[in-house]
Copies of this chain bind each other. A is one copy, B any other.
Amino acid sequence: MKKIITWFNVFVLLANLASSSYAQVIEDFKPSSVNQLGKEYPQVNSEGRVRARIYAPEAKRVQLDIGGVKYDMVKNEKGFWTGESDCQQEGFHYYQLNVDGASVPDPGTKYFYGAGRLGSGIEIPAHDADFYALKDVPHGLLSEVNYYSKITQEWRRCFVYTPAGYETNTEKRYPVLYLQHGSFEDETGWGSQGKANLILDNLIAAKKAVPMLIVMDNGYAVRPNERALFQTTVFEEVLLQEVIPMIDTKFRTLPQRESRAIAGLSMGANQTMRIAMNHPESFAYYGGFSGTSNYPSTEPLDADTFLDGKFKDGKMVNRQFKTFFLGLGTSEPVPFPGVVKAFRQMLDKQGIRYTYYESPETAHEWLTWRRALHQYAQLLFR
């Protein structure tokens, strides 16, 4: 009988170990690279677990809310709550804390615009993080540009990356990439969590990309009488009639189609594909990261009718684009893989040349898009 109880105890112990994430946690946590100055938490360990901590002495329940899952945190005698997530995929993730039902930013992190709000973010160090690291190479500038839109009748803002040397090579003119964010993100995304400036600094220093400007605008735009949040109604008009002329006036650009590229991620891919197809006179390069204009449909596409037949004449599309680029993460959720697959099948059927890049083991998130930009930028303006 004694032996049976012992084996039973061992069984219970093993079952507990297997079901409890705490028992398996590797204790090599370090502060996240996007914490505020001097903040020890949140931390990340070598498995990609996130450990958060917050002082909330009177709270009944505090949770770490990341990747669509809420993890209960535990309070110590001093009033600090601590808890860990399951292992997260490498790259950047939005998250938040939940204090007695209130969803709030973690006071330890810098804040990033996503999901329609400024919230906490965390970096799970990626094995290939070097391509977007801040390194000892010449750095360009990331500039904030305020402009008044007559179409939307409001002040808008874009960010402009100018490569190293732009300020001093005052005779030189540069090609321009127009680069758009995804749904419920904004014009800050690519220059902040997207690392677009650092990716280009590194590529240009290694002579893997030509010096170019990048313009990052806000993809949401409506007429004043249609005032609504997160609507894209007139973005195409704002970009073509206001932003591009403003950029070509304010900066030393090469203002012709052969020196102009457009790209976007997710909603921005969908938007920019329509814009590129509607304006062959304006763009010679297209990049769609984790999105195509047939979203969310995964049905086979009829080139005669899709986007008003813009892909019907494959030879003309091949003449229009020097590069037609598509990118996707191998871990992206439904419907993205099916959407992009249906679109590619249509391209193949029409004999349209394109470059297809798959980001290994990343989902619908910023590491996919950093990698896609890294690939795409190398193909531009050659």
Contact = CB atoms under 8 A, between A and B. Distances in A.
A40 to B, nearest CB: 11
A58 B142 contact: no
A82 to B, nearest CB: 13
A142 B139 contact: no
Interface in A134-149: 134, 136, 139, 141-148
A26 interface: no
Contacts of A101: 55-59, 79
A39 B229 CA distance: 10
A194 to B, nearest CB: 14
A110 interface: yes
A61 interface: yes
A281 to B, nearest CB: 25
A60 B61 contact: no
A167 B252 contact: yes
- Most chain B Cβ neighbours within 10 Å, of A111, A160, A250: A250
Contacts of A299: none
Contacts of A170: 170-171, 252
A103 interface: yes
Interface residues of A, number: 54
Given A61-B58, A142-B144, A146-B134, A37 B186 contact: yes
Contacts of A38: 116, 229-230
- Chain A at the B interface: SS class: loop
- Most chain B Cβ neighbours within 10 Å, of A79, A111, A141: A141
Interface string A31-67: 0000011110000000000000011111111100000
A104 B111 contact: no
B99 A100 contact: yes
Nearest to A157: B134
Contacts of A7: none
Interface string A79-122: 10000000000000000010111111101001100001111000
A11 interface: no
18 contacts: A38-B116, A55-B101, A57-B100, A57-B101, A58-B60, A58-B100, A99-B102, A100-B100, A105-B105, A107-B117, A110-B118, A111-B118, A134-B155, A139-B145, A141-B144, A142-B144, A144-B191, A167-B252
